[in-house]
Amino acid sequence: MSNEAMSNQVVEVQNLSRRFDKLWALEEVNFTIQPGLVYGLVGANGAGKTTLIKHLLGLLKAKQGSVRVFGLDPVAHPVEVLSRIGYLSEERDLPEWMRIDEFLSYSAAYYPAWDHQYAASLIATFGLDVSKKIKQLSKGMRAQVGLVAAVAHHPQLLVLDEPSTGLDAIVRKDILNAVIREVADNGRTAIFSSHLLDEVELMSDQVLMFHQGKLLLFGSVEQLREQHHRLEVRFATERAQLPAIDGLLSSEQHGQHHKQTWSLVCHGDASEIQIAIAAIDGEITQMRSASLQEIFVSRAGRSYQVEV
Amino acid sequence: MRNVRYGLAKTAKRQMSKSVQRIQGDLEFGAAIRRLPQFAGLGTLSALLLAMRPASAKSRKSEKGSLHSETQVYHSTATLTLNEVAVHIEISVRDGVPIYRQIVNQVRYLIASGQLAVGEELPPIRTLAEQLSVTPNTIVKAYDALQTEGLLVKRQGAGTYVSELASPIRKSEQRKILTQRADALLAEARQFSFSYEEVLELIHKRQAALDRTLPKGPGDV
């Protein structure tokens, strides 16, 4: 408890860089995570999300920069840090040969705070047969078992790596509801990575957008949306390309027969953008704040294709 | 009594949503309005219109690498059962209005239209967050905003209720909503180069058409 007095921040990452061979997986990453909020981690495959999560869990040691979780170095204090974290890995690497009940009592042994009643109620909600072996389970059932193991000790920090990948809507909802419950009832903190940007937009208070190892954007969903605008612009004459506009992130022409209309995503003050468009004789037929998906594609979309 | 009134509200909803869809077909509704300086930043309207749209939540496929499919629309719907009457809250990330604002606007509308009565309890934060699949802090923010407006009251440890104050506020909320509709209509008319007289004439015609289908005013039920 004295650790919390020392640092109110759940996570503090400073100047974190990590290189695998010649590729920078993380580059000069800085951010802090406050208690009681949900953080969405977005980026294409290979953007650095999983590398970052491994640093938070102490599975990778910070070679450049520093990582603090509950004010502690997770590599130097694995027991103190990991006992307060709930983690659902992307691979859901569970011991195949164990039965569900064996796996859960094995997990419970690691956590003094394990809530047997809560675990049992989740198992009942999911309709899982605890006598089944993990290797017999479907992908969705595995995720459910992994989820029980991640939340049954009511962790102060919940870390979910791609919790929605490959799951049907029902299991996805189970997972989201478990996050919502921990945050709403117990004021816990959650970090989840996802490539489903609409889901992140609804589920997150704060968004961390990674691209090629760099933290591209960090802020509340509302801040990000207020700063990014999507416009439909009509010109009196056809245009092969657009003149330079301050804050323009991406532009797209509509089909071959409509060279007069363009879709734009811009960053900055709305009125300044309106003035800039008027200055190039454009008529704005639509303007609204951009969605997270539009923001991401406009900022990272070009090189997304060539990434591994 | 409540059920009957709700049934009527539903008819009105259906009619409203038809006209909204028609307008949206050509040109996004809110955008035309927001272009005019006096309506800059007006987002409430589209959220209100959204509230009136028939529930059409579509589930999406989850597949890896869907970052680039642009046509996905993420709707989330919550159906609240209050005094045996089902009311809907629907949110969308494509609406351009912050999620908590969408919730504030829809709850305000539910109160103004009488679907939420004075003293009625709202769902707990966790319940609504789970139904809409949103972070609980969004619900907290929405309820806080409604409390600041005087429409909701929190009783310590006992939930959130529609405030006594909501009753006198209701009339002014209704007026506010109609004012927004009128502003939207006028802005749209200007966009289409309709004169004020033409708009008035249209209103007269629509009123006559409405009189034929609804023999009595909505207040007579």
Surface-to-core class of residue A166, CB atoms within 10 Å of its CB (0-12 exposed, 13-18 middle, 19+ buried): middle
Contact B135 A202 (CB under 8 A): yes
Check residue B13 and give its pLDDT. 43
| pLDDT for A235 beyond 80 | yes
Average pLDDT over residues A170-181: 90
What percent of chain B shows pLDDT beyond 70?
57
Contact of B99 with chain A, judged by CB distance below 8 Å, is answered with: yes
Inspect the interface and report whether the beta carbons of B137 and A36 lie closer than 8 Å. Answer: yes
β-bridge pairing A228-235 and A258-267: antiparallel
Q: How far apart are CA B169 and CA A26, in angstroms?
A: 53
A65–chain B nearest CA distance, Å: 31
pLDDT beyond 90 at A256: no
Distance of CA B158 to the CA centre of its chain: 27
Average pLDDT score over residue span B130-141: 93
Q: State the DSSP code for A242.
A: P
Residue with more model confidence, B219 or B86 = B86
Does residue A304 have a pLDDT over 50?
no
Q: Which residues of B touch A38 (CB under 8 A)?
A: 135, 137
Token pair of A37 as six digits: 């909020």
Provide, as residue numbers in chain B, all residues whose Cβ is less than 8 Å from the Cβ of A165.
62, 64
Mutation target among B135, B139, B143, B160 for the A interface, most CBs of A within 10 A: B135
Residue B22 pLDDT > 60? no
- Residues of A in Cβ contact (< 8 Å) with B60: 169, 198
A86-90, A241-245, A289-293: which range is least confident on average? A241-245
**Which of B33, B67, B101, B192 would you mutate first to test chain A, the one with the most A CBs within 10 A?**
B67
Averaged pLDDT, A237-252 = 83
Nearest CB among A165, A169, A286 relative to B64 is that of: A165
Q: What's the pLDDT score for residue A305? A: 38
Q: Write down the mean pLDDT value for chain A.
A: 88
Looking at beta carbons, which residues of chain B come within 8 Å of A221?
A: 98-99
The pLDDT of A32-36, averaged and rounded, is: 95
B-chain residues near A216 (CB < 8 A): none
Q: How far is A230 from chain B (nearest CA, A)?
A: 9
Q: Does A129 touch chain B (CB under 8 A)?
A: no
Residue contact A172–B91, C-beta within 8 A:
no
| Average pLDDT, integer, range B103-109 | 90
Cβ contact B129–A201 (<8 Å): no
Q: Which one-letter DSSP state was computed for residue B115?
A: S
Q: Which residues of chain B make contact with A196, given a CB cutoff of 8 A?
A: 62, 66
pTM to 2 decimal places: 0.76
What confidence score (pLDDT) does residue B40 get? 34
The band of B217, judged by pLDDT with boundaries at 50, 70 and 90, is low
Tell me if ipTM is over 0.90.
no
| Per-residue pLDDT, B59 | 31
pLDDT at position A69: 96
Q: Give the separation between CA A266 and CA A245, rounded to whole angstroms.
A: 9
Q: Which helix (H) or strand (E) holds A26?
A: strand A23-33
Q: Note whether A44 contacts B: Cβ–Cβ < 8 A.
A: yes
Q: What is the pLDDT of residues B170-203, one digit of tens each?
A: 788 788 888 988 999 998 998 889 999 999 999 9
Average pLDDT over residues B55-83: 44
pLDDT tens-place string over residues A176-211: 999 999 999 888 999 999 888 888 999 999 999 999
* Separation of alpha carbons B128 and B182, rounded Å: 32
Lowest mean pLDDT among A53-62, A115-124, A162-171, A252-261: A252-261
Choose the closest CB to B135 out of A195, A205, A291.
A205
Residue B65 in this model has a pLDDT that exceeds 70: no
Contact B93 A202 (CB under 8 A): yes
